[in-house]
Chain A
Amino acid sequence: MNVILVMIPLSLLLMIGAAIAFFWAVDHDQFDDMETPGLLALDDKPKHEAPRS
């Protein structure tokens, strides 16, 4: 049972990490537009590597 004492704090830490990552993503426009990236066709062999923002 003692392993629980390690696993539970670990799971809590992971969850906090995930929440922080998600907050970061929301604040960096990752969830503002859920449709456009899906529309962007995947180009197999990009001929031109244009600068991305």
Chain B
Amino acid sequence: MRRKSKCVLGIEGTAWNLSAAIVDQSRVIASAESSYHPVEGGLHPRAAAQHHATHMEQVIHDVLAKGKKNNAKISAVAFSIGPGFGPCLRTVATAARALSLSMNVPLIGVNHCIAHIEIGRWLCNVADPVILYVSGANSQVLSYRNGKYRIFGETLDIGIGNALDKFGRYAGLQHPGGPKIEEIARKAKCYMPLPYVVKGMDFSFSGLTTAAKDALAHAPLEDVCHSFQETAFAMLVEVTERALAHTGKKDILLAGGVGANSRLMEMLNTMCQDRSAKFFAPDKAYMKDNGAMIAYTGLLMLESGAVLSVEDSAVRPNYRPDEVEVTWR
């Protein structure tokens, strides 16, 4: 008989998605979520936090009920401690502390970015990849070495998702702009040159976003969407390829919500084919913000003893992934 692995409840709610899940060593046992969708404009931290507070009870109730059906006994409560919107983080942390105390199990504070990486490594079964992590707020190329995920290159201003959303809002598209831009870009007829900004291993998207907005005055939306994507993604893939060449690693893992973009996946896949590298991306449900990634990383941390006391569980809105001591690898 299989030795019964520990189960961890994880709660994610750094920004738009409140999501909870229970995982053990081998699978995601239960999950429940509620997403915040702004009526107009972009994500508002306070409105998102209010959404999370309103739906927390239901989401936790649902995930625990599903867990119970599967005989899951919770060994620890993990939550995303940062980076993210302060009000959202505090809402989630409050719920996690209360659950940890009432169930009398350890509390674990998980770095949101690291969780994106770990769920990908788990589900794709890839040991030591170069990671391209692209979401609304974050755009980073990372690689593990000697106890930490090191950042090879990152955005010097805004995340790629945020860049897409900003441009999308300006063009009159509803939040989130990314998927709509991807759709519209398919109908493009020509490419127009936009600023291609790679500085060393870092990239920048805010100048590109401004140039794309300006271009709308004299070019069709389809062409600008296409040119925006092609330019921005080429920058990301170029730096990823250089990290691959520099580290000598053979695998690429895509993580984060913008990973759902099929053009970005296609470009990474092509680059990997040409370098005889392997390209990995988990299912879209596990690239966007999700509770399972927090639960799974929480499980890794629990087994390596990285638990928190309530006193030390203050949220960290500016928590960088390269600050995390990786105790489980």
Q: Do A and B come from one complex?
A: no
| B→A interface (CB under 8 Å) | none
| A→B interface (CB under 8 Å) | none
